[in-house]
A and B are shown apart, each in its own frame.
Chain A
Amino acid sequence: MELQTTIYLVVALSFSLYIGIAIWARAGSTSEFYVAGGGVGPRLNGMATAADWMSAASFISMAGLISNMGYGGGLFLMGWTGGYVLLALLLAPYLRKFGKFTVPQFIGDRFYSQTASTVAVVCLLVASLTYIIGQMTGVGVAFSRFLGVSKDVGIYVGMGIVFFYAVLGGMKGITYTQVAQYCVLIFAYTVPAIYISMHLTGNPIPQLGLGSDMVGTDVSLLQKLDQVVVELGFGQYTTTTAGSTLNMFVYTMSLMIGTAGLPHVIMRFFTVPTVAAARSSAGWALVFIALLYTTAPAVAAMAKLNLIGTVNTAVASNGDLYASESSIKAEDRPDWMKRWEVTGLLKFDDKNGDGRIQYYNDKTKDEAVKAKAEAAGWKGNELSVNADIIVLANPEIALLPNWVIALVAAGGLAAALSTAAGLLLAISSAISHDLVKGVFNPNITEKGELMAGRIAMSFSILVAGYLGLNPPGFAAGTVALAFGIAASSLFPAIMMGIFSKKMNKEGAIAGMLFGLGITLFYVFAHKGLFFIKGTDYLPLIGGANSFFGITPEAFGAVGALGNFIVAFVVDKFTKEPPEHIQHLVESVRTPRGAKAVDGRH
């Protein structure tokens, strides 16, 4: 079958599956709409959480990022998985015991203050909306690259699908579609990885292949990769770090705390039946996430070697990488390269006019590499590769059959849609439950609130679609911002609400505002006020990364620390929380008596 037809068929099949589930899992009550009725088992919820969490960025971009960064890329792997340990130990079981529909409702009740809940709603909306822009553009990109339709059409189709199951089914519909989407995306991710690992190392398990010897030799894959990249002037793959030790540490911490504080992830743990289930469900979520996350570094290393081997035949023959016949002739380059050149993700520019493709690091500081390149008549690197290629074109680089390529398209869409749906639910429940019912109309009926939830959801989809169609200039930096906000505002407030009986509303509110403020201040100093070009104010803070060399993406953990400190100082000088709040904290801490989640304010 023609490649394009196969892709259409596989994507259409996966979409009809999601629609089928949506019709089957309609929500009839607010409990079903917000928490899927509260009876989702820990394994099933773990699977849904994995899909909820793994976004277009995890699926499409992460392996490429690691491929470029080498050893230092491990900070994303550790940061985005280590957060689940914090979630399981510090937040999920206690919030489940508290037993209400939303994160702002916990903050509002625990700190006996509508102001606290409203501040939490604002933090939630900013974090979730910035996050969703990335998902909508991810849907558009996947459509335009694989299905040959424009990005806009792709976003409209994506909006339509999400509308169908999220508005109809709420959390119930989202939960079961996320389970299906997880299956699609993990299958799509691992199949090419198994093929490629088998091909390079003879070991079908990519996690083991990463540590194995190359087929027919006694040189390990990583040694081979190290040798090739160093010879071509890139940093050694297995040792290159990302910035200073302190920055790497703080960056990893920020990703961990941010992960644990993201409301759309926390919400998933309101759907399990018991406190014990919330604990083990976090473990299952991480099992399902780790399936992809431990495959990613294998894909990263193997695809990198494959890519270099495609343009330089000396990699396979162990010959001289700089011999003129080693670099392939441009006219002989494989079809997949031509296909991806059209999208601009791959660029070839014959700088020395010899009709061959030379791929190396022309900015290397290694004099020996420079001398060799010069002696060989190389006039600069001729191939530029977008990081996303590592996953998107991986099946083609490894010469896999068409149905595998189609699968990757469906997987990328599943990853983007499942995360978008989770975010939309977090946004719409904050509006319909915390704002409409909590602030404006406390006497709203169950039916009225369900309707308000559906309207808020539809409205959120329109906003998300609009932002996807007209991504603000800052789209690239937004996911990092979402983590920074979740880490610096929501995580500390929830944690103090559970672990400190005496923390009062003044402390919590001051802490959240300070954490949010200082993080935005530091990020905006680098990237401009609300990411508007030309409004950055680096001199004011003493230059780029002036705070101990910490980059703005890594600042969330510092904001969180500030949040804790300010909260405790303010708490010292203000009134203790009332007696009944201290009892509430005690009851949140013990599992017995956990009831079905409900929404009473």
Chain B
Amino acid sequence: MDKSGEAYWKATLGLLTKILAIWFADLLNNIHLGGYPLGFWFAHQGSMYIFVALIFIYAKKMGEIDRKFDVHEE
């Protein structure tokens, strides 16, 4: 396996892109969805739960990538 800094950065950006895509889709959806009850619930509640989940998923996956490329902190 390629353990270079470049490969690590590529893996990081890959994860980043996925998470930001969900983040962005959520944002767009909210503005287009409108309506009640689903659109309203997402705008006033659901999005925030999604944001919290995204950060923790990111933190966990990043930890895995760090270990895989052996750049994690001791």
Contact = CB atoms under 8 A, between A and B. Distances in A.
Nearest to A289: B48
Contacts of B35: 238-239
A84 B41 CA distance: 20
B52 A290 contact: yes
Contacts of A594: 73
Contacts, number: 132
Contacts of B66: 276, 591-592
Interface string B7-42: 011001000100110010001101110111101110
Contact of B48 (A253, A294, A591, A592): A294
Interface stretch (A75-83, A99-107, A122-130, A531-539): A75-83
Interface in A155-214: 207, 210-211
A279 B72 CA distance: 13
Contacts of B48: 77-78, 81, 286, 290, 293-294
Nearest to B13: A499
Interface string A66-106: 10000101110110011011001110010000000000000
Nearest to B32: A245
A77 B49 CA distance: 11
Given A586-B5, A592-B72, A282 B51 contact: no
A71 B40 contact: yes
A274 B66 CA distance: 13
A249 B43 contact: no
A89 B16 contact: yes
Interface residues of A, number: 48
A238 B40 CA distance: 6
Nearest to A241: B34
Given A238-B37, A245-B31, A249-B28, A82 B23 contact: yes
A412 B8 CA distance: 45
A77 B73 contact: no
A279 B56 CA distance: 8
Contacts of B54: 85
Interface in A239-256: 239, 241, 245, 248-249, 252-253
Interface of A: 66, 71, 73-75, 77-78, 81-82, 84-85, 88-90, 93, 207, 210-211, 222, 226, 238-239, 241, 245, 248-249, 252-253, 274-276, 279-280, 282-283, 286-287, 290, 293-294, 297, 586, 589-594
Given A71-B44, A592-B71, 18 more contacts: A66-B44, A74-B30, A78-B27, A85-B54, A210-B44, A222-B37, A238-B37, A239-B36, A239-B40, A249-B28, A252-B27, A282-B55, A283-B59, A290-B49, A290-B51, A290-B52, A293-B48, A590-B5
28 contacts: A71-B39, A73-B44, A77-B48, A78-B43, A82-B51, A84-B51, A85-B19, A85-B55, A88-B55, A222-B36, A222-B40, A238-B36, A239-B34, A239-B35, A239-B36, A252-B27, A252-B31, A276-B73, A279-B55, A279-B58, A282-B55, A283-B55, A286-B51, A287-B52, A297-B44, A589-B12, A592-B72, A594-B73
